[in-house]
Amino acid sequence: MANPLADDLDHVLDQVGPLWEELRGARLFITGGTGFFGCWLLESLLWADAQRRLGVELVVLTRSPEAFARKVPHLAGHRAVRLHEGDVRSFADPEGTFSHVIHAATEASATLNAEAPRVMFDTIVEGTRRTLELARRSGASRFLLTSSGAVYGRQPAELTHVGEDYLGAPDPTDPRSAYGEGKRVAEHLVAHEYHAHGLDAMIARCFAFVGPYLPLDIHFAVGNFVRDALAGGPVRVAGDGTPYRSYQYAGDLMVWLWSILLRGVPARPYNVGSEESITIGDVARRIAESEGVAWVVEGKVTPGAPVTRYVPSTARARDELGLLGSIDFDDAIARTVRWHRNLADRPSPSFAT
């Protein structure tokens, strides 16, 4: 069967372009390979491998190879992929050396952050430390950390787009800051590894995204809205709908991550996301209208409350790396809905050319 993501994967293939040659014969170690980012990293690299005959090998860290194989058998069972069982904080070294390491583990779990903030913090920090140790020992030439816009703390209401030179931070006395503080420490460890040991370590500060593989049943508002729309509505907004967000499509996300890994400046963070600012209420409305279902905002607006935002400036990635967003919000939603609607009826796709 043809891969249902073929158009998106061709987009990534074309946009990354000649940089794929940097991965010819490469052996990569990837943490977080079973999540939203990870599945897309595997999909896009294996697609490029099939089209360009790169001869790559991938070792993917997972706590449960069996669960990953059930979720995406075409990825877990691919000839170029080997699953390595372990916890990101304490995994045993896999055999052999690696040319590239991508540390994409630690999903932004609101539940874990709220209920076990120390576990969240330790997983981010110790997982980064452990993965950097592997990269150093294996002689990796390039390393990528997927960090987060959470490192900036609360975005000021008057700052419509937050750039990498903004020196705000999470409140260190608030246990809910565990995720953002953990990512700040992770970035510090990555920068130290570059300055002290010469590892070309890149930092991608990721914001909000939408696309196939995005979970529909956790704290991601856009995923919840897609779930509601697929169920026939109404699309429900639990809050007042006024916060501003932006969403980059997964296909564009992959172009950016591969480009940052392969030609970014070490220890120089790049914001990754869309600059198209939209309120949560409008996100719900546009998703509902695209599917012809009702939508409802359940919260009440508080008069005089400051505007909350989580929207990046991507000028650095645009000006220094030439990275642009190609897929707008409405198209991103349409692609995501289509993929989820057809998911249950599909056999495993093929990477054959």
Check which CATH number belongs to the domain holding 323 and give it: 3.90.25.10
Predicted local distance difference test score (pLDDT) of residue 353? 40
- What pTM was estimated for this model as a whole? 0.95
Peptide bond into 234 cis (omega under 30): yes
Predicted local distance difference test score (pLDDT) of residue 109? 59
Residue 73 lies in a domain: no
What are the average pLDDT values for consecutive 10-residue runs of the chain, which has 353 residues? 90 98 98 94 98 98 95 96 96 96 78 76 95 96 97 96 96 92 97 97 97 91 96 95 97 98 98 97 97 95 91 98 95 96 69 49
Predicted local distance difference test score (pLDDT) of residue 136? 95
Task: Give strand pairing partners of 272.
Answer: 206
Residue 221 CB neighbour total at 10 angstroms: 18
Predicted local distance difference test score (pLDDT) of residue 113? 56
Predicted local distance difference test score (pLDDT) of residue 3? 86
Residue 343 lies in a domain: yes
Residue 221 lies in a domain: yes
Query: Measuring CA to CA, which residue among 240, 227, 207, 239 is closest to residue 312?
Result: 207
Tokens of 134: 């592997």
Q: Which domain holds residue 339?
A: 211-247+275-348
Residue pointed to by tokens 């059930």? 70
Predicted local distance difference test score (pLDDT) of residue 131? 98
Between strands 200-206 and 244-245, the pairing is: unpaired
Residues shown for the chain: 353
In whole angstroms, what is the distance from residue 156 CA to residue 122 CA? 28
Is the Cβ–Cβ distance between 226 and 216 less than 8 Å?
A: yes
Residue 229 lies in a domain: yes
Query: Measuring CA to CA, which residue among 36, 284, 20 is closest to residue 28?
Result: 20
Total structural domains in the chain?
1
Contacts of 346 (CB under 8 A, 6+ apart): 1, 4
